[in-house]
Structure 1
C-alpha cells in the first residue's frame, strides 16, 4: 500500500481544512459511502494526530497525510493517489491495484 498526494491537492487541504499543531489529514473509511470497489463504504477525512499510522505521506508544504492501521481492511489491496479536480475544486481519490486505476 502506498499513499501519495499531489502538490495541488496538498495545498487545497492546507487551505480548506483547518488543523492544529501536530495534526495531519487522516484518510479513513465511512459507512454509507461508495468507492469503485465497495458500494457500502467510502473515504472520509479527519484532521487529527496520528496514533498508529499504517502509511504516511509528508507533503512538501508540511502537511502530513496518513491512513491508520484500523482502516487497513479497506485500503489493503490498493494504493491511494489523491489529486485535485481544479474545475470542481475538490479532491479526487484514485485507487490503484496492480498498477491499474480502479474507476
Structure 2
C-alpha cells in the first residue's frame, strides 16, 4: 500500500486545512458513497497528528496516514491523490497494489 500525493494536492491540503510541519491528515473509509474500487464506502479525512499510524508518508513535514482500524479499506491498494483545478479539490484514485 502506498499513498502518493501530487504537489498541487499537497498545497490544497496545506492551504485549506492550515497545515504546518508536524501536522497530519488521517485518511479512513466511511459508510456511504463509493470510490473507483469500493461500493458503499468512500474516503474521508481529518486533520490529526499521527500517534501510531499503520502506514504513513510525509511530504514537507506533513504526515498523510491511516491507522490499524483503517487497514480493511486500504489493504492491497495504492492511493494516488491529484488536484482538480475545475473543482478546486483533490481527486482520489485507488489501484491494486
Total equivalences in the alignment: 97
- In 1: Cα distance, 2:78 partner to 2:18 partner: 25
Match of 1:94 in 2: 93
Structure 1 segments of 4+ aligned residues over 4 angstroms from their partners = none
Match of 1:75 in 2: 74
User: Equivalent residue of 2:69, what SS?
Assistant: helix
Q: Is the 8 A contact 1:5 1:57 kept in 2?
A: no
Match of 2:52 in 1: 52
The CA RMSD over aligned residues, in Å, is: 1.7
Q: Which runs of 5+ in 2 are unaligned?
A: none
Match of 1:31 in 2: 31
Q: Which runs of 5+ in 1 are unaligned?
A: 99-103
- In 1: Cα distance, 2:33 partner to 2:52 partner: 24
List aligned pairs for 1:1-20, cutoff 5 A.
1-19=1-19
Deviation digits for residues 48-68 of structure 1 (CA, Å, limit 9, x no counterpart): 111221211111x33221111
User: Equivalent residue of 1:37, what SS?
Assistant: coil
Structure with the larger RCO, 1 or 2 (CA within 8 Å, 6+ apart): 2
TM-fit CA distance, 1:33: 2.1
**How does the TM-score come out when normalised to structure 1?**
0.84
**How does the TM-score come out when normalised to structure 2?**
0.88
TM-fit CA distance, 1:37: 2.1
Q: Is the 8 A contact 1:24 1:63 kept in 2?
A: yes
TM-fit CA distance, 1:21: 7.0
